[in-house]
Each structure stands twice: as structure tokens, then as C-alpha cells.
């Protein structure tokens, strides 16, 4: 029987207490590794941030094995926080993908040992291209560190793996350093919530910060509207037909003169008034809550909540009626 077909040793019986003990020990080791990592950061980290801020191209992240998996996440975090970045696999780079790297790029090479054969094979080519090489490594005297323009220490004292073999604390350190770079860069760039939303248009933050009232409002024939001289019967017909629970009352020039709602109707009925002879201008509320077409949808939601209303009239820059929006429109768009 050869080595590959030899059965594995029988696993010991599962011990819940032992599993919990190892989990806690793992978290302790990794927490200590991160705490120690803070003291190792200095000029190299600052130089890396400065180089990435000045980068005329992209930050190209590379790494093999587990460092490569971390590198993909680091590249994604950088890209989503204002630093254009992408990941290139070192093995593929030596077979053509190195063409993605240009003179104006910064290459962030991640390797715990600093002796990855695949990275070592392409570092000379990166240097010839003139790209800035930043090494994130635990090997201060490694081949990668010696050839890099800038070195960020990701050294850890021990892995959390009981065998001290599987990358555990070291990859946690790499991941945390990648986050630290992204945070330092976004702060230096003045990156704001609005900028984050632009790179996350499909997320809830993107919907809240990028979607405008004009994107969601009812417009055209879907907007209930009557003139100031419209009779009560015709006004109620318009409200029923459009189904928003209110109608805009507009002047001859299209500006909003007022609003009439289901609530206004109930209050009139309670007074016992003869509604048949009433005109829109006599029963409308003359100071309705208005919102501009270019306002953010989240602002419409805030106005509805503040004034305890379920709908708003929408006006253009000249104050003319442009549409209507209600809470159902906002809920459908997942703004609220």
C-alpha cells in the first residue's frame, strides 16, 4: 500500500471542551498577534500610504496561497474605499498577466515568509517596469523585503495552529494591515459616505444616498391634480382615480396652491358642511409639505416621518408641480 492510499489514523472522539479550549486559545493568539503588530508599524506603513496616494495607476495586489486569498480581499476593500485596486495571481502573472502592471502602478506583494517562488520569479520584471513595489511580509530579511521599495511588517510570533504550520495568525495580521491601509487612505483622500455609496449602488447605503425623489416619484397622469376652481365632486373623483389619498391643487401657472387629503375630507364631513357647493380653493390646505425633484429619496422619508404624513407633492426648481411620492414608493425601493 503506497502513502497516498494509506488510511488516515483514526480520529479521536470529539471532545466539546477541547474544541472550546482551542477556539479560545486561537482567538487569544490572534488577538496578541494584532496587538503586537501595532508596535511594528512605522515609517514603512507611512511610506506605503504615501506611495498609494501618489499612485498614477492602480494598486496591484499579489499573493500566493492563503496570502493570495487575503490579497483578493485587500484589493476589494481598497477599491471600494477610493483606492483603485485589483488582484493579480503571481502564477498567472508570469504567464502573461504581468501585462496588467504598468509603470505608474504600486504593487502590493503579500507573503508571510517573503520567499514565495512565484513572487520571486516576477519581482525582477516588476522592478524593470518601474512600478513601486511594497512588500507586506513577516520576513524582514527575506528576498522579497530586500528587493522591495517599501516594507510593511506583518510578522507574528506564532501561528494559532497547534502545529504552528497552517497560516492563521499570520493571515489575520495581513488582513488587518490591509484594512489599516484602506482606512488610512480613505481618510487621507477625504472619502465620505457619498463616495462609498457610489461604489455600492446595489446596497442599502447606495439606495439611501444616491436615489433621488425624481427616480421614484409618480409623474404625468399618475399625479392627482385639480385646479383651484374645481368642484368637490370632480376633486373626489380625481383622488379616487389616482389612489394616493390626496390631490394637489394647482394655480393656472402650474405652481402648487394647496393639497386636499382624505383626512381633510373626513374633518369636513364631521362638521356637517354641505360639500356639494364647495370648490377646491375653499377646502384645500394652503401650505402643503413640498419636496424638490432633485432631493434625495432618504430626505423625503425623513420629511414624512417628521411631519407624520404618508405622501408629499414634488415640485421642480421653479416651484411647479412635477410629481408625487408616498411611503409605499419609498418602501418598494427599500429606502425605508
Residue range 100-129, pLDDT digits in tens:
999 999 999 999 999 999 999 999 999 999
The residue ranges of the chain whose pLDDT is under 70 are: 1-10, 193-209
138 and 112 Cβ atoms separated by less than 8 Å: yes
Fold match between domain 19-191 and domain 213-332: no
Task: Give residue 269's pLDDT.
Answer: 87
Q: Which residues of 97-223 form beta strands (DSSP E)?
A: 106-111, 132-137, 150-153
Write down the domain spans for the chain: 19-191, 213-332
Distance CA 288, CA 285 (A): 6
For 310-333, how does the pLDDT look when each residue is reduced to its tens digit (9 = 90+)? 899 999 988 899 999 999 888 888
- The residues near 63 (Cβ < 8 Å, ≥ 6 apart) are 69, 70, 71, 90, 109, 110, 111, 116, 119, 174
Superfamily of domain 213-332: CBS-domain (3.10.580.10)
Burial class (CB in 10 A: 0-12, 13-18, 19+), 104: middle
Q: What is the CA radius of gyration of the chain?
A: 32
Residue 137 pairs in a beta bridge with 111, 153
If you search the block for the grid coordinates 487621507, which residue do you land on? 188
Alpha-carbon torsion (255, 259, 260, 264), positive or negative = negative
Does pTM top 0.85 for this prediction? no
> C-alpha grid cell for residue 211?
436615489
Task: Give residue 272's pLDDT.
Answer: 81
Q: What are the φ and ψ backbone dihedral angles of 143, each rounded to 5 degrees?
A: -60, -40
Superfamily of domain 19-191: Glucose-6-phosphate isomerase like protein; domain 1 (3.40.50.10490)
Amino acid at each position: 500500500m503506497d502513502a497516498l492510499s494509506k488510511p488516515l489514523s483514526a480520529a479521536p472522539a470529539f471532545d466539546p471542551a477541547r474544541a472550546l479550549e482551542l477556539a479560545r486559545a486561537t482567538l487569544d493568539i490572534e488577538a496578541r498577534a494584532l496587538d503586537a503588530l501595532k508596535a511594528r508599524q512605522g515609517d514603512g506603513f507611512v511610506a506605503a500610504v504615501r506611495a498609494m496616494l501618489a499612485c498614477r495607476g492602480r494598486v496591484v495586489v499579489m499573493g500566493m496561497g492563503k496570502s493570495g486569498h487575503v490579497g483578493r480581499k485587500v484589493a476589494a476593500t481598497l477599491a471600494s474605499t477610493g483606492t483603485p485596486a485589483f488582484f493579480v495571481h503571481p502564477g498567472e502573472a508570469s504567464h502573461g498577466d504581468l501585462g496588467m502592471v504598468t509603470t505608474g502602478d504600486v504593487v502590493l506583494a503579500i507573503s508571510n515568509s517573503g520567499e514565495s517562488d512565484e513572487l520571486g520569479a516576477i519581482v525582477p520584471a516588476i522592478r524593470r517596469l518601474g512600478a513601486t513595489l511594497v512588500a507586506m511580509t513577516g520576513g524582514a530579511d527575506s528576498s522579497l523585503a530586500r528587493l522591495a521599495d517599501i516594507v510593511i511588517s506583518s510578522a507574528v510570533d506564532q501561528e494559532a495552529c497547534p502545529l504552528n504550520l497552517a497560516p492563521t495568525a499570520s493571515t489575520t495580521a495581513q488582513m488587518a494591515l490591509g484594512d489599516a491601509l484602506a482606512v488610512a487612505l480613505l481618510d487621507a483622500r477625504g472619502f465620505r459616505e457619498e463616495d462609498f455609496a457610489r461604489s455600492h449602488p446595489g446596497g442599502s447605503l447606495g439606495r439611501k444616498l444616491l436615489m433621488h425623489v425624481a427616480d421614484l416619484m409618480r409623474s404625468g397622469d399618475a399625479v392627482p391634480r385639480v385646479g383651484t376652481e374645481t368642484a368637490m365632486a370632480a376633486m373626489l373623483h380625481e383622488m379616487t382615480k389616482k389612489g394616493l389619498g390626496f390631490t394637489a391643487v394647482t394655480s393656472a401657472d402650474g405652481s402648487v396652491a394647496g393639497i386636499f387629503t382624505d383626512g381633510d375630507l373626513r374633518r369636513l364631513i364631521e362638521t356637517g358642511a354641505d360639500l356639494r357647493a364647495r370648490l377646491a380653493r375653499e377646502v384645500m390646505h394652503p401650505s402643503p409639505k413640498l419636496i424638490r425633484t432633485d432631493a434625495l429619496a432618504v430626505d423625503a422619508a425623513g420629511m414624512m416621518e417628521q411631519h407624520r404624513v404618508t405622501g408629499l407633492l414634488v415640485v421642480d426648481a421653479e416651484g411647479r408641480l412635477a410629481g408625487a411620492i408616498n411611503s409605499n414608493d419609498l418602501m418598494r425601493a427599500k429606502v425605508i
